[in-house]
Amino acid sequence: MGMLGKTNTTLSALAVGFLGLTVAFLQNPWGHLPPRPTIPLVDTNVLDTAPVRRSYADLLKAGEDLSDFDCYTCHEKGKPPPIRYDENHRIILPKEHSNIVMQHGSHERNNHCFNCHNELNLERFQTRDGRELPFAQSTELCGSCHGPTYRDWEAGVHGRTSGFWDRTRGPIRREDCVNCHDPHAPEFPGRKPAPGPHPLRPAASHLAHAIEPAHSAP
């Protein structure tokens, strides 16, 4: 047999093989694969990198209106506002501060405004060791009571760190405590976790069941 004859024989065999595969696919002896499940879209809240709250430092940096932090629009300078309590020693907030929920501490022991605010200068904080701090340095105020957590925050194991791990490429940024915690009621409510990676294919058990040969009815 010459070279041309061998080529024709090979091509004929390939044609018969492909024809057989075509017939097999049309008859589908392996059964039908289940349709791919619809992959739900990820909640866009999971993709949002913004913190849950904006701190005074954020507002100051963005040039926002800070008139809500001007205590002496209503209060008189040099005259600390009185603190009133009910019969259960729960603080009674004036209606002007009705948006504030005082729940700092499991036993409501930190329910006194002047534990954090300077009673002689309401526009500054005061720490337990007597230091005065501006509103933009609220994390240092938190650290004056929550020392271990503050050290964890400094080390980057509490809170959220963004920016560059490689300091030669750029700085890092650590969010302030108040970016996650309401200072008056700091218990963090938690967030819905992001979904895990999708396998993009049906489960193995379902796949094995789906490709079993179809049996005729008795």
- Calculate the CA 90 to chain-centre distance: 33
Residue 207 has pLDDT above 70, yes or no: no
Does any domain span residue 19?
no
Structure tokens at 191: 């967030």
Predicted local distance difference test score (pLDDT) of residue 217: 47
Q: Residue 74, SS3?
A: coil
Does any domain span residue 212?
no
Q: Which residues pair with 116 in a beta bridge?
A: none
**By percentage, how much of the chain surpasses pLDDT 70?**
87
Instruction: List the single range of 13-22, 157-166, 206-215 with lowest mean pLDDT.
Output: 206-215
Q: Are 60 and 66 in contact (CB under 8 A)?
A: yes
- Residue 102 domain boundaries: 55-179
86: exposed, middle or buried (Cβ count in 10 Å: 0-12, 13-18, 19+): exposed
Does any domain span residue 75?
yes
Structure tokens at 100: 């504030």
Number of domains in the chain: 1
Does any domain span residue 87?
yes
Residue 190 has pLDDT above 90, yes or no: no
Predicted local distance difference test score (pLDDT) of residue 216: 47
Please name the amino acid found at residue 92.
I
